[in-house]
């Protein structure tokens, strides 16, 4: 039965306080159930897999098969002076939660338990990885926020450029309209002048017509 080994252990890393619980448990590897330890980290599995593989690679060559990461002869002096068969699994618990299980086979089918004197080395290893994983997550979140801020800046800059272009377009249209209005004003003035001249021409033509009509009337009177 699983039981809590460590609860409420406080660490401080990169100005961030955290408490991590390490539990005992078991997992099946190639149809063989192995006893070991696990902890749950609030980080997506894809990131933990990458961080975990890199972290344990310092102990030896890592063989990976899906969620299983093994080192046949791991060199971990803090746990054992002799090579250890390190068997681990990285499993998704929730969308942003990942479970890491680790079993330390010291030979002869024996695995390290919480009562073993080597447990402190196990505890140290898991704590170190937890700190590393959380630091990497902080970096990822900071980079994500930076990317979002950059995208937002690019978006508002793009909007600003569009507004500036529209302002210049509006200025050009205004200038064109003002020129058109000035031309329209001149055209209207000329038309008004033409109208006055035409009205005078109409009056002159009317007078001339009347004079011709009078002259024609006189001629007709003489003939009679």
Q: Which residues pair with 153 in a beta bridge?
A: none
pTM for this entry: 0.66
pLDDT digits (tens, 9 = 90+) for 161-201: 999 999 999 999 999 988 898 889 898 889 888 899 899 88
- The mean pLDDT of 212-221, rounded to a whole number, is 80
Domains of the chain, first to last: 4-140 (3.30.310)
pLDDT digits (tens, 9 = 90+) for 125-145: 999 999 999 999 999 999 999
Q: Measured between alpha carbons, how far is 173 from 175 in angstroms, rounded to an integer?
A: 5
CB contact burial 142-163 (16+ within 10 A = b; e otherwise): eeeeeeeeeeeeeeeeeeeeee
pLDDT digits (tens, 9 = 90+) for 32-76: 899 999 999 999 999 999 999 999 999 999 998 888 999 999 999
Nearest C-alpha neighbor of 117 from the set 108, 104, 130 = 104
Q: How would residue 85 be classed by pLDDT, with cut points 50, 70 and 90?
A: very high
For 59, which DSSP code?
G
Q: How would residue 224 be classed by pLDDT, with cut points 50, 70 and 90?
A: low
* Sequence-ordered list of residues with C-beta below 8 angstroms from that of 42, at least 6 positions apart, any chain: 96, 97, 137
**Token code pair at residue 122:** 């196990």
Element (H, E) at 209: helix 119-223
- Does 13 have pLDDT greater than 50? no
Q: Measured between alpha carbons, how far is 159 from 170 in angstroms, rounded to an integer?
A: 16
Q: How would residue 99 be classed by pLDDT, with cut points 50, 70 and 90?
A: very high
């Amino acid at each position: 039965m699983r039981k809590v080994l460590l609860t409420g252990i406080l660490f401080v890393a990169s100005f961030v306080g955290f408490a991590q619980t390490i539990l005992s448990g078991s997992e099946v590897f190639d149809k063989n159930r192995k006893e070991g330890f696990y902890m749950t980290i609030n980080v997506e599995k894809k990131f933990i897999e990458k961080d975990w593989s890199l972290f344990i690679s310092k102990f030896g060559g890592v063989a990976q098969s899906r969620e299983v990461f093994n080192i046949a002869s791991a060199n971990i002096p803090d746990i054992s002076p002799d090579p250890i068969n390190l068997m681990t699994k990285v499993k998704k618990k929730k969308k942003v939660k990942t479970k890491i299980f680790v079993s330390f086979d010291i030979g002869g089918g024996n695995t390290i338990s919480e009562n073993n004197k080597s447990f402190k080395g196990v505890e140290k290893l898991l704590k170190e990885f937890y700190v590393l994983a959380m630091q990497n997550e902080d970096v990822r979140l900071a980079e994500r926020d930076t990317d979002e801020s950059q995208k937002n800046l690019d978006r508002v800059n793009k909007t600003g450029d569009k507004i500036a272009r529209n302002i210049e377009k509006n200025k050009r249209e205004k200038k064109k309209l003002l020129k058109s209005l000035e031309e329209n004003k001149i055209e209207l003035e000329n038309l008004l002048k033409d109208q006055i001249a035409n009205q005078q021409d109409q009056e002159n033509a009317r007078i001339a017509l009347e004079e011709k009509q009078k002259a024609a009337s006189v001629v007709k009177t003489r003939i009679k």
